[in-house]
Amino acid sequence: MDLLPSENGHGHGSKLHVAMFPWLAHGHISPYIQLSKKLAEKGLTISFVSTPLNIAKIIKPSFATLKSPGQVHLLELPLPPVDGLPAGVDNTADLPIHLTPLFDKAVDGLEKPLEDLLGQIRPDCVVFDFLQWWTPRAAAKFGIPAVFFPTFGAAFSSYAIHPARQGSESTAEDLTKPPPGYPSAAISWKPYEALAVMGCNRPQGPNGISYLERTFRCYEHCSAMAVKTCDEVEGKFVRYLQEVIGKPVLPLGPLLPGVASRESDCLAWLERRTPGSVVYVAFGSNFFMSREDMGEIALGLEGSMLPFLWALRLPHGRDGCRVTDLLPPGFEERIRGRGLVVGEWAPQVEILRHPSTGGFMTHCGWSSLMEGMGAAVPFVACPMLLDQGLNSRLVCEELGVGVEVRRGDEGLLKREEIRRAVRTVMVDEEGRRVRTKASDLGQTFKSKISQDAYLKEFVGHLQSMVSKKM
């Protein structure tokens, strides 16, 4: 393990030393990587803490070409063994859903190892994610401030973790109503979404702490909260969130990854398409949809009669299976030459910024939305769980840069609604305003949003926290 000497910390005339501790999911690790890179470019020292497999497979390759004045140290914390949890399950992308309680138990077992590690490296502060509620407790033993960075947007966070939601008394009906003073009447959970979210309020695992309660403990005990967002997109929600939690809320900017120069079958396929003609379809690294949903999406895309590129990940237990084997009979033959379905990782940022890409059908994960906004593409919003429904209403109703796929009262996907939303966003006159607004927002990202200014303000706040504790 690569350890830093303790005298490196505490800001004594030197650059800050920040420890990063993301949740063990690709969609959470990636924003932490982007933040770490940008802080290292400003000369800060970064200790990036994760499990050995995540470091080897995701984190180390991401820093391989980094050239910056600041140092990045990758520090391993192996997951403790838990009966029933297979060895090598270090990331939620490799986690069968029924093993989630065991995975959570293993992660909770990292509190003492993290405490020992912080005692050795003595960073100036630790930045931590939304389920490791015990991180501030471990850091406090050494007087280290903890900054809560859950990787969600401010509109979701202020809606979901409002004090009015705390406790087991909240009902699904309560969750369909914005909390008091919430700055938008357009954003709320639909009843079927609220029922699913209620599961987050149930006691989980051996310690009996619900996911919602974990999140409340995170913001209650942190020194400040960081949000991957910008005033140009969520300014009023950032201000409301700060009012709600009574702690400083620090926008980090969009934290968009750079475009890499790479070869890819997807990009080669896009090169042969007309500019703005292709809808890119992807549902994130952690969500595995049912075969029924896959079928409805496939037939909706087919019915749109438009070119599409679909990055489709296989569910667990489907090793050796081709993704097209799970799609409707004859689908592959019928869309040949017009659509491409890939079953492996796809270079999403490069796809979104390719001239042939004209729309993005997405689950509305926050990082995906930020990447789409930065690429100036309109959204076909198809939220699946948790924060995604609120994110969808933000981009479609508040910002006007997308069209949400309509569902029935039970939340079922229907091919005709998928076809309608895709065509509206991509070609129909009804969607012209959406396309224009998406283009305008992309220009705002390009010309008006200063990532550097957000980071300077964030670093300034960290320096202020460090000086106050000395």
Please check whether residue 17 is in contact with residue 124, taking contact to mean a CB–CB distance below 8 angstroms. Answer: yes
Per-residue pLDDT tens digits for 142-189: 999 999 999 899 999 999 888 777 766 778 888 899 999 999 999 999
For each of the domains in the chain, give its residue range(s) and CATH number, in order of start: 6-254+450-469 (3.40.50.2000), 265-447 (3.40.50.2000)
pTM, whole model, 2 decimals?
0.91
pLDDT of 136 strictly over 90: yes
The pLDDT-based confidence of 141 (bands split at 50, 70, 90) is: very high
pLDDT of residue 319: 56
- The mean per-residue pLDDT over the stretch 92-98 comes to 80
156 contacts: CB under 8 Å, gap ≥ 6: 366, 387, 390, 391, 394
User: Which pLDDT tens digit goes with each residue over 349-379?
Assistant: 999 999 999 999 999 999 999 999 999 999 9
Q: Give the list of residues 6+ apart from residue 455 with CB closer than 8 angstroms, or none.
A: 38, 39, 42, 252, 253
Question: From the candidates 28, 162, 354, 363, which is the catalytic residue?
Answer: 28
- Among residues 283, 368, 281, 287, the alpha carbon closest in space to that of 93 is found at 287
Which of the residue ranges 13-17, 19-23, 144-148, 398-402 would you say has the lowest mean pLDDT? Answer: 13-17
Q: Which of 104, 108, 129, 387 is catalytic?
A: 129
298-311: per-residue pLDDT in tens? 999 999 999 999 99
At residue 116, the pLDDT reads 96
Weakest-pLDDT range from 48-52, 97-101, 385-389, 410-414: 97-101
> Is-catalytic flag, 162?
no
Write down the residue that tokens 């004090």 correspond to. 163
Q: With contact defined as beta carbons under 8 Å apart, do 289 and 368 qualify?
A: no
Residue 17 annotated to the active site: no
Which residue has better confidence, 11 or 403? 403
pLDDT tens per residue, range 397-415: 999 999 999 998 888 999 9
Query: pLDDT tier at 466 (50, 70, 90 boundaries)?
Result: confident
What mean pLDDT, rounded, does the chain reach? 89
Mean pLDDT across the stretch 80-100? 85
When mean pLDDT is compared over 84-98, 197-211, 326-340, 369-383, the highest value belongs to 369-383
Residue 173 has what pLDDT?
Answer: 87
Given a cut of 80, is residue 455 above it in pLDDT?
yes
Among the residue ranges 109-123, 337-351, 392-406, 430-444, the one predicted with the least confidence is 337-351
Integer Rg of the chain from CA: 22
Angle value at C-alpha 320, between 316 and 321, nearest 5 degrees: 75
